[in-house]
């Protein structure tokens, strides 16, 4: 069953300028399970064409529209996403 939703308003409204935290995707830890892309309320996490050391096509996000909510980091079962302070 697919639960992916359509991208929300942040696809129209860029969030980068006011974001306090940003996700850092640790590509070598990514197992390509896809949970982060299904949980992101903005629908901006996607699978790249690049592979990590384990041969997995790792996931990343479009920071232009990321609001820094941290849900992806909380839900990643492999601790492959860390939230860090946004540098202004
Ligand atoms: S939830 Fe974590 S391990 Fe799964 S695709 Fe996303 S970053 Fe990779
Ligand atoms: S921090 Fe929130 S908005 Fe940004 S990629 Fe993660 S789940 Fe999506």
Q: CA-CA distance, 62 to 60, in Å (whole number)?
A: 7
Query: What structural domains does the chain harbor?
Result: 9-85 (3.30.70.20)
pTM of the model: 0.86
Q: Is 66 in the pocket of ligand 2 (CB under 6 A)?
A: yes
Per-residue pLDDT tens over the stretch 33-76: 999 999 999 999 999 999 999 999 999 999 999 999 999 999 99
Measure the CA dihedral 74/36/58/46, to 10°: -140
DSSP 13: S
Phi/psi of residue 45, nearest 5 degrees: -95, 135
Q: Which of 47, 58, 73 to mutate to test the pocket of ligand 1 (most atoms within 8 A of CB)?
A: 58
């Amino acid at each position: 069953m697919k639960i992916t939703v359509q991208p929300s308003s942040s696809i129209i409204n860029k969030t980068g300028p006011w974001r306090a935290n940003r996700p850092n995707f640790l590509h070598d830890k990514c197992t390509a399970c896809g949970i982060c892309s299904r949980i992101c309320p903005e629908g901006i996490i996607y699978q790249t064409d690049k592979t990590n050391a384990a041969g997995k096509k790792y996931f990343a996000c479009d920071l232009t529209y990321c609001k820094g909510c941290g849900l992806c980091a909380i839900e990643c079962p492999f601790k492959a996403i860390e939230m860090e302070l946004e540098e202004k």
